[in-house]
Amino acid sequence: MPTPHDSCLTERHLILFAKIVRSFAGYERLIDDAAITLSKADPTCFSLLTRGNDFRARRTMLLDVLRQVDYPMDRYDRISAQLLIPYTYSMLLHDIVHSEWTRHVPSNGIQPAWIFRCAPSVLPVRDWSDTGVEDPLPRSADEYSYTLEQLETVADTLSEGRRDFAAYLLAAGLLCATP
């Protein structure tokens, strides 16, 4: 098992991690606001009832509420598709929040020693003893290591997806326009 190194994460890694976490927080807030609108729940009570829910649980909850209120299927499908974007990266969020990180060199690649000795990617050192976290299917380390470019792409994709999701919810009447 790889060992974590304090020096493997650069300032850029940390900034990208923060952008990713912020995007997920934005998605969670949008999901909560839409569910409050659909269920006509008191926002404070709703917040108390769902405070322990992570993104995946909130996503499931919103999709269940949409079904419960007989929301039009085409709109349900659109919301479900838009939430597939962050769902795809939810394991990365879990790794950012709960894992230590180590340097990773892809198994099929080589790197000359003179290239600043920078790690081409970082790899989470996972502890699967977390309760409530499903063990993923076995994968090679190359499949869940991240280069700075990949993290940048994920951060941009999540940010853009969150803006699109907010615009759709607003147009669908599931969000109140903020002053």
Query: Are 162 and 89 in contact, with CB atoms under 8 Å apart?
Result: no
Which pTM value belongs to this model?
0.80
Q: Which two tokens stand for residue 21?
A: 């976490």
Cβ neighbours around 15 below 10 Å, total:
13
Q: What pLDDT, in 10s, does the model give residues 119-153?
A: 567 777 766 555 555 554 444 555 668 889 999 99
- What whole-number percentage of the chain has pLDDT above 70? 75
Measured CA to CA, the distance from residue 31 to residue 104 in angstroms comes to 35
Instruction: Name which of 16, 15, 25 is nearest 162 in CA terms.
Output: 25
Angle at 23 between CA 19 and CA 129, to 5 degrees: 85
Q: Give the pLDDT score at 173.
A: 94
Can you give the residue ranges of every domain in the chain?
11-97+150-171
Query: Are 177 and 151 in contact, with CB atoms under 8 Å apart?
Result: no
Q: Give the pLDDT score at 107.
A: 55
Asked if the model's pLDDT at residue 58 lies above 90, the reply is: yes
Q: Give the pLDDT score at 69.
A: 95
Contacts for 39-46: CB closer than 8 Å, 24+ residues apart: 39/65, 39/69
Predicted confidence band of residue 114 (pLDDT cuts 50, 70, 90) = very low
For residue 138, the number of C-alpha atoms closer than 13 Å in the C-beta half-sphere is 0
Mean local confidence (pLDDT), 77-87: 97
Measured CA to CA, the distance from residue 23 to residue 146 in angstroms comes to 18
Measured CA to CA, the distance from residue 13 to residue 123 in angstroms comes to 12
Instruction: Quote the DSSP letter at residue 115.
Output: S
